[in-house]
């Protein structure tokens, strides 16, 4: 299995539980456990190793125009130091991957990819998308995934930790970044964003520098009750905050419109890959919709479990858990849009061969506005 540059750091910690995550040996939780790590992020601060994520640079005079075609969101209007969330779609409107795009300057963009999709994404970006396959001039695409470590510092006290180590970072606005910040004398990209529903920061650095930065964050964070956190808490946190996970809420069989991510689809752009298919879907009626539910009967809903309205199969669960923050069993489902269901209406979810009652509820389950 692959290992991140921080493998030796967290393997030296007591009672860390490692799992195979898409070919990576990663911590699902540390000594404190998933619940404690989840609450640390909601109430104090947690530190995640997410170095398995992929990164590339796209640069050249065509970089902005090319990326603007490649994704649903608008790239050409970005300013230096700005970050956007965007979906990269196939011509049929389904999703190749969801990306985070950083504008370093008008000809240089840092693009962050999901770990399981790195090889597929790079093939799509460099060879397989309609722009590239038509032999148009291409910007330069450089894969930095193996050379880069990534950490996420998340929670209401994250700004206090960063303020001690990198004072200028504490004044960053949300979805803004510093291209050459210094933490423990090491140069890194420091951005104010994350995947937990809390205020926080993401840090990209050279692989060799990762242990120094990791240890500095944990040492400084002791005054703020920091905990190292694993994949278990990362999933429950993102689920509460309605942050999509590739292969669950979005995939190569689900469109952004079905996933209720239309706010990131800019139909006012001249063109982007998948635009015509998504426009047709919008005009003819989006067939499925991502909805939130809360279990009435105590049971854990999981990805793939079927959803029924009376006896009719209307869709399936995309993600589910017991919310550590709210103490409820809850999740998301992709269901037929023509059911007429309203908030509070009941449905059944088939769990281990038995139908369990649930009801539709408003989402996200948890929402917190970042500090200014």
Is 257 in contact with 278 (CB distance < 8 Å)? yes
Alpha carbon distance 262, 15 (integer Å): 42
User: pTM (2 decimals)?
Assistant: 0.96
Mean pLDDT confidence for 201-229: 98
Helix, strand and coil percent figures for the chain, each rounded to 5:
25, 35, 35
- Reported as a single tens digit per residue, the pLDDT across 150-181 is 999 999 999 999 999 999 999 999 999 999 99
- In angstroms, the CA 232 to CA 238 distance is 10
The answer to whether 228 touches 15, Cβ cutoff 8 Å, is no
- Residue 19, pLDDT score: 96
pLDDT at residue number 136: 86
Question: Who contacts 134 (Cβ-Cβ below 8 Å, separation ≥6)?
Answer: none
Domains and CATH numbers, the chain: 1-285 (3.30.1360.120), 287-361 (2.40.30.110)
105, 80 Cβ separation under 8 angstroms: yes
**Residue corresponding to tokens 């139908």:** 355
Report pLDDT for 368: 84
Name the one residue in this structure whose structure tokens are 């240089």. 108
Q: Calculate helix-pair angle for 231-240, 34-43, nearest 10 degrees.
A: 50
> pLDDT tens across 35-58, in order?
999 999 999 999 999 999 999 999
The number of beta carbons lying within 10 Å of the beta carbon of residue 300 is 14
CA distance 123 to 368: 37
Return the bridge partners of 142, or none.
Answer: 57
pLDDT of 370 higher than 80? no
């Amino acid at each position: 299995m692959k290992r991140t540059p921080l493998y030796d750091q967290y393997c030296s910690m007591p009672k860390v539980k490692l799992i195979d995550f898409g070919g990576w040996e990663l911590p699902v939780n540390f000594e404190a456990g998933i619940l404690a790590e989840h609450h640390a992020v909601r109430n104090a601060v947690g530190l995640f190793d997410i170095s398995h994520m992929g990164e590339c640079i796209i640069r050249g005079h065509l970089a902005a125009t090319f990326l603007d075609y490649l994704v649903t969101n608008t790239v050409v209007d970005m300013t230096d130091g700005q970050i956007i969330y965007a979906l990269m779609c196939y011509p049929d409107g389904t999703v190749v991957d969801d990306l985070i795009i950083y504008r370093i300057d008008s000809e240089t963009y840092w693009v962050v990819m999901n770990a399981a999709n790195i090889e597929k994404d790079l093939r799509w970006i460099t060879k397989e998308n309609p722009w590239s396959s038509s032999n148009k001039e291409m910007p330069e695409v450089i894969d930095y995934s193996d050379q880069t470590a990534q950490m996420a510092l998340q929670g209401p006290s994250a700004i206090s930790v960063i303020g001690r180590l990198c004072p200028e970072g504490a004044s960053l606005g949300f979805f803004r970044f510093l291209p050459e910040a210094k933490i423990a004398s090491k140069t890194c990209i420091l951005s104010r964003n994350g995947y937990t529903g809390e205020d926080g920061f993401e840090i990209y650095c050279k692989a060799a520098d990762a242990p120094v930065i990791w240890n500095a964050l944990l040492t400084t964070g002791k005054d703020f009750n920091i905990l190292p956190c694993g994949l278990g808490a990362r999933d429950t946190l993102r689920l509460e905050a309605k942050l999509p996970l590739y292969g669950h809420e979005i995939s190569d069989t689900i469109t952004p419109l079905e996933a209720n991510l239309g706010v990131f689809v800019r139909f006012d752009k001249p063109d982007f890959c998948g635009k015509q298919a998504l426009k047709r879907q919008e005009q003819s009626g989006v067939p499925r919709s991502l909805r939130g539910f809360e279990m009435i009967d105590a049971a854990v809903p999981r990805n793939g479990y079927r959803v029924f309205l009376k006896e009719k199969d209307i869709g399936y669960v995309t993600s589910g858990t017991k919310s550590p923050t709210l103490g409820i069993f809850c999740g998301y489902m992709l269901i037929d849009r023509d059911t007429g269901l309203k908030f509070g209406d009941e449905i059944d979810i088939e769990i281990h061969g038995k139908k369990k009652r649930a009801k539709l509820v408003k989402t996200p389950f948890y929402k917190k506005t970042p500090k200014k």
